[in-house]
Amino acid sequence: MIDVNKDNYEEEVLKSGMPVVVDLWSPKCGPCLSLMPQVEELSNAFKGKVKFCKLNVAENRKLVISLRVMGVPTFLFYKGGEIVDRLSGGDAVPDSIRAKVDKLI
């Protein structure tokens, strides 16, 4: 997974030639941390088809606000530089994430 921040978000996410999943997380978010190993597995499963990135909300507040994200965990699904779907809170479970990724490709 690629760590993204305000400096590389445009290049890694918005200008990506392949679909992108952005995992917005916080070091103080228990559900975020427990999801991370499963998201890493998904990243490996879709390697070469979908780019997986993670964004630490505590270190990128302005970017998070501009993305209209109100809580974590939140997953943003991009295609062609545009947000086409999102999952957050209790809906952000591995099966739901996988289903949304399948729709991206």
C-beta separation of 59 from 7 below 8 A = no
Taking the C-alpha atoms of residue 58 and residue 49, their distance in angstroms, rounded to an integer, is 29
Q: Which of 1, 29, 63, 83 is catalytic?
A: 29
Q: Which of 13, 20, 24, 32 is catalytic?
A: 32
Q: Which residues are CB-neighbours of 74 under 8 A, at least 6 positions away? A: 24, 86, 87, 88, 89, 92
The answer to whether residue 32 is catalytic is yes
The answer to whether residue 29 is catalytic is yes
Distances (CA, A) of 54 to 22, 29, 57, 82: 5, 14, 9, 17
Q: Which residues are designated catalytic?
A: 29, 32
